[in-house]
């Protein structure tokens, strides 16, 4: 008997050709996302990485329905997002966001119990859930899943009485209370001490493994992505410029931007630090050709010229990277001329 076919879209959150534009105060059109395809599947962690201004937070917000794309679409479970109030409410039950700074995200006047119960009440689940549990039982289960035990001992505590790690766990518990299928975590540990970061990352991995949660992590920290993500998408100026399985991309990066970001990760000391010149350009003025060319060390250092791609770098745009879950893709002209093993020396 043939094995039943697995639907690759089942439970997956997908961005398909997303473009997000907005008009600046001076009337210019800024393109915050410029054709992005990614997919997050149940039971896996996808990290979106890049500097501030790369578009990663806009992508996460758009995938959560908080921004409406100018073109392209977001699909969950194979169905395009429904932007009506009821459609977005239904999405929120299944896809929850974990905010980055628990200190400012938790209401200081709300007890832990009320903070975690808030989402349940908002969704009309205050009396019972599909399994017949009371609100208190759901809150206790969410706190326990977030590693806060015994949960009842925290019910009446206020945020100021908790450590930074406990506050972050309360935020995660608030997201878990609705029993979502997917979490979107924006810089989930950036406001925490190094000693607590590992605990919160381990918790996200436990939720992936034990509950089959899909997790989209937004981070500027490649070291963090290496520790937690199954797959990675490196973003620059509104596009994914390199993506693939984390180990493959970070052990053998092909894009000069990924190489530069990796070279300044403190835990990796075998790479000479590459300091990128300038800032990410204004999204109202995306450079022609390869959008990274004004800052590219391979172009500035003459390597692109030496292998004959320098003119293409400044004049020929690169194809969009597909949301392929297995392949290692890169948006750069160099790999057409240079063997993969030699790209690490660029
Ligand atoms: Fe650098 Fe050229 Fe590759 Fe762009 S295409 S990243 S400018 S080498």
Residue 335, exposed/middle/buried by CB under 10 A (0-12, 13-18, 19+)? middle
Stretches in the chain below the pLDDT threshold 50: none
Calculate how far, in angstroms, residue 300's C-alpha sits from the geometric centre of ligand 1.
10
Calculate how far, in angstroms, residue 19's C-alpha sits from the geometric centre of ligand 1.
22
Calculate how far, in angstroms, residue 334's C-alpha sits from the geometric centre of ligand 1.
7
Mean pLDDT of the chain: 90
| pLDDT at res. 142 | 96
| pLDDT at res. 57 | 92
Nearest CA to ligand 1 atom 6: 332
Ligand 1 closest atom vs CA 292:
4
| pLDDT at res. 308 | 92
Nearest CA to ligand 1 atom 5: 332
Residue 234, exposed/middle/buried by CB under 10 A (0-12, 13-18, 19+)? buried
Ligand 1 closest atom vs CA 257:
6
Which residue intervals of the chain are DSSP H helices?
56-63, 85-94, 102-105, 112-122, 135-145, 164-176, 194-211, 222-228, 246-251, 256-263, 297-300, 303-306, 310-315, 340-343
Residue 215: φ, ψ to 5°: -135, 125
Task: Using a cut of 0.85, tell me whether the model's pTM lies above it.
Answer: yes
Q: Is the peptide bond before 290 cis (omega within 30 degrees of 0)?
A: no
| pLDDT at res. 337 | 77
Write the CB contacts of 245 (distance below 8 Å, at least 6 apart in sequence).
Answer: 230, 231, 232, 326, 328
| pLDDT at res. 345 | 57
Q: Would you tell me how many other CB atoms lie within 10 Å of the CB of residue 10?
A: 10
Mutate to test the pocket of ligand 1, among 309, 312, 337, 344 (most ligand atoms within 8 A of CB): 309
Calculate how far, in angstroms, residue 346's C-alpha sits from the geometric centre of ligand 1.
11
Calculate how far, in angstroms, residue 172's C-alpha sits from the geometric centre of ligand 1.
39
| pLDDT at res. 346 | 58
């Amino acid at each position: 008997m043939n094995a039943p076919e697995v639907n690759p879209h089942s439970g997956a959150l997908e961005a398909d050709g997303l473009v997000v534009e907005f008009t600046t105060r001076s009337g210019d059109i800024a393109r915050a996302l410029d054709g992005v395809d990614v997919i997050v599947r149940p039971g896996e962690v996808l990290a979106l990485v890049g500097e501030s201004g790369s578009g990663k937070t806009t992508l996460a917000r758009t995938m959560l329905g908080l921004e409406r794309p100018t073109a392209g679409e977001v699909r969950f479970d194979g169905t395009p997002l429904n932007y009506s109030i009821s459609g977005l409410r239904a999405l929120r039950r299944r896809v929850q966001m974990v905010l980055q700074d628990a200190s400012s995200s938790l209401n200081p006047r709300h007890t832990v119990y009320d903070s975690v119960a808030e989402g349940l009440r908002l969704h009309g689940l205050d009396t019972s859930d599909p399994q017949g549990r009371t609100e208190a039982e759901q809150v206790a289960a969410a706190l326990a899943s977030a590693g806060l035990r015994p949960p009842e001992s925290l019910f009446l505590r206020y945020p100021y009485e908790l450590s930074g790690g406990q506050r972050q766990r309360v935020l995660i518990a608030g997201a878990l209370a609705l029993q979502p299928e997917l979490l979107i975590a924006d810089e989930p540990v950036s406001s925490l001490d190094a000693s607590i970061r590992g605990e919160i990352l381990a918790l996200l991995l436990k939720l992936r493994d034990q509950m089959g949660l899909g997790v989209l992590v937004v981070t500027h920290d490649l070291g963090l992505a290496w520790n937690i993500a199954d797959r990675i998408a490196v973003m620059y100026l509104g596009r994914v410029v390199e993506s693939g399985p984390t180990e493959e991309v970070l052990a053998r990066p092909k894009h000069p931007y990924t190489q530069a970001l990796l070279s300044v990760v403190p835990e990796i000391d075998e790479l000479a630090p590459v300091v990128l010149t300038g800032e990410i350009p204004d999204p109202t003025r995306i450079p022609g050709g390869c959008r990274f060319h004004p800052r590219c060390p391979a172009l500035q250092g003459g390597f692109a010229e030496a292998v004959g791609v320098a003119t293409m770098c400044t004049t020929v745009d690169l194809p969009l990277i597909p949301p392929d879950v297995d392949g290692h893709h890169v948006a750069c002209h160099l790999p057409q001329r240079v063997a993969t093993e030699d790209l690490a020396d660029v």
